[in-house]
Amino acid sequence: MRNMSPVLERGYAEELDAADPLAGFRDQFALDDPGLIYLNGNSLGALPRATLRRLETVIRAEWGTALARSWDHWVDLPTRAGDLVGELTGAAPGQIVVADNTTVNLYKLACAALDARPGRRVIITDRDNFPSDRYVFEGIAAQRGLELRMLDTDIDEGLDAGQVRAAVDEDTALVSLSHVAYRSGALADMAGVTEIVHAAGALMLWDLCHSVGAVPAELDRCDVDLGVGCTYKYLNAGPGAPAFLYVASRLQETLRQPVWGWFSQRDQFAMGPAYDPAAGIAKFTTGTPSILGAAAVEEGARLLLEAGLGPLRAKSMRLTGYLVELGEAWLEPLGCALATPRDGARRGGHVTYCHPEAKQLTGRLAAAGIVTDYRTPDRFRFGLSPLTTRFTDVWTAVAATRDLIKGGESHD
């Protein structure tokens, strides 16, 4: 890219947009407000137009007209959608199903893992893991009289595999960590950490909520045991869409989850007298799944797969790299501290800064039509979604942040 504008000028961002092979995907989303710069897709992803059409079909034709007869094809939707999520996360078919929410899935898989490691009394996670993860494990540890060991991860630099190695021992049943950290955006070494955990004889449960759709995972290749993730962030499946769970094929026969529901029964509609768990991944579901939600997951996953995992990660890294570069020039000199790894290979799809007035800043950015989000105690996040975020959005948002901080200095 020769003869480009200087990096800090808006023209440079426009040139990056013009050269972006994924730029056309933005038109496939219902982002119709030209005054909105939405950098919060890491919280709730945008609405794909295909999903709007699909949900209209599911609601009007499948529910409204065909009614209960649609269960003939709805019944497999959670596994069909799960297989698509598998393509996004490096899981061969039959290992992922769309079901429940992330919290319930964490609970089911953690219980299954602990039952598979009787006598071992330690669960390990990290102190900066997402709250629901920590709370679920805290609850299970309390209920079973186990120890929850919390790693003190450096929340800006992310998980250090050496810390995991130092923490696991022959008493460790389960280690659960996030692939991308929700606050810092730090990307964990899935292969390295999983290997360390396995060497100690424990099971590894990865939370992919903040990576799926922005950062490729290689669940099978990394020999991961268990995984969960949500679908309403980069997967764009809508508010409260169901989550997914992964159980490696090699473990599906032996593991058993605690919530024995009729959708996890072998011959579900025989409604037999005793529970007889289904073969395969269905065993890890519970009751009736959300059909609207699973349909939206299918559409969201298709759109990401159409873009391709390589191009998605490449654009994600270009977006975050550009933001970090602008931030170095404009935000860090104004008292913003980068709270995300500076090395692009160690980042996910969002970039976080610390600033004492982070909360007020996100409010004032929102008032200016720039949606980012605040995280306690002093952090604000820019979520950059490779299918919808433009480089000019990044430029505008960082410039506006700079101006607000400068303005705040003189006015507040």
| Residues labelled catalytic | 130, 207, 232-233, 381
For 288, how many CA atoms within 13 A lie in the half-sphere containing its CB? Answer: 5
**DSSP-derived 3-state class of residue 164:** helix
Task: For the CB of residue 33, give the shortest distance to its own copies in the complex, in Å.
Answer: 6
> Looking only at residues 148 through 207 of this chain, which bind its own copies when binding is defined by CB under 8 A?
none
> Looking only at residues 28 through 47 of this chain, which bind its own copies when binding is defined by CB under 8 A?
30-33, 36, 38, 40, 43-44, 46-47
Task: For the CB of residue 355, give the shortest distance to its own copies in the complex, in Å.
Answer: 18
> Looking only at residues 202 through 231 of this chain, which bind its own copies when binding is defined by CB under 8 A?
230
Residue-level length of the chain: 412
Based on CB atoms, which residue is closest to its own copies, 77 or 324?
A: 77
> Looking only at residues 337 through 356 of this chain, which bind its own copies when binding is defined by CB under 8 A?
none
Chain center to CA of 405 = 30
Please answer whether residues 308 and 117 qualify as being in contact, where contact means their C-beta atoms are separated by less than 8 angstroms: no
Based on CB atoms, which residue is closest to its own copies, 101 or 211?
A: 101
Tokens of 186: 């730090």
Based on CB atoms, which residue is closest to its own copies, 211 or 286?
A: 286
Q: CA 407, CA 412: separation in Å to the nearest integer? A: 8
Q: CA 92, CA 255: separation in Å to the nearest integer? A: 18
Query: Using the rule CB under 8 A, which residue among 292, 397, 398, 404 binds its own copies?
Result: 292
Task: For the CB of residue 114, give the shortest distance to its own copies in the complex, in Å.
Answer: 11
Please answer whether residues 123 and 110 qualify as being in contact, where contact means their C-beta atoms are separated by less than 8 angstroms: yes
Query: Is residue 122 part of the contact set for its own copies (CB under 8 A)?
Result: no
Q: CA 34, CA 22: separation in Å to the nearest integer? A: 19
Query: Using the rule CB under 8 A, which residue among 158, 227, 229, 293 binds its own copies?
Result: 293
x/- contact string, 90-119, with its own copies (CB under 8 A)?
----------xxxxx--x------------
Task: For the CB of residue 14, give the shortest distance to its own copies in the complex, in Å.
Answer: 24
Query: Using the rule CB under 8 A, which residue among 23, 55, 337, 399 binds its own copies?
Result: 55
Q: CA 230, CA 30: separation in Å to the nearest integer? A: 21
Q: Which residues lie closer than 8 Å to 412 by C-beta, 6 or more apart?
A: none
Based on CB atoms, which residue is closest to its own copies, 197 or 349?
A: 349
Q: Which amino acid is at 174?
A: L
CA distances from 170 to 201, 360, 362, 404 (A): 7, 47, 45, 52
Based on CB atoms, which residue is closest to its own copies, 104 or 219?
A: 104
Please answer whether residues 170 and 325 qualify as being in contact, where contact means their C-beta atoms are separated by less than 8 angstroms: no
Q: Which residues lie closer than 8 Å to 67 by C-beta, 6 or more apart?
A: none
Q: Which residues lie closer than 8 Å to 365 by C-beta, 6 or more apart?
A: 371, 372, 380, 397, 400, 401, 404
Tokens of 215: 């950062």
Task: For the CB of residue 121, give the shortest distance to its own copies in the complex, in Å.
Answer: 17
Query: Is residue 366 part of the contact set for its own copies (CB under 8 A)?
Result: yes
Based on CB atoms, which residue is closest to its own copies, 12 or 234?
A: 234
What are residue 118's phi and psi, to 5 degrees? -60, 145
Scanning 10-18, 165-173, 241-249, 305-313 for contacts with its own copies by CB under 8 A, the matching segment is 241-249
Query: Is residue 287 part of the contact set for its own copies (CB under 8 A)?
Result: yes
> Looking only at residues 61 through 90 of this chain, which bind its own copies when binding is defined by CB under 8 A?
62-65, 67-71, 74
Query: Using the rule CB under 8 A, which residue among 89, 290, 385, 389 binds its own copies?
Result: 290
> Looking only at residues 371 through 400 of this chain, which bind its own copies when binding is defined by CB under 8 A?
371, 373, 375-376
Query: Using the rule CB under 8 A, which residue among 121, 134, 198, 346 binds its own copies?
Result: 134
Of 328, 370, 316, nearest to 353 by C-alpha is: 328
Query: How many other C-beta atoms are found inside a 10 Å radius of the C-beta of residue 257?
Result: 23
Q: How many residues bind its own copies (CB under 8 A)?
A: 82
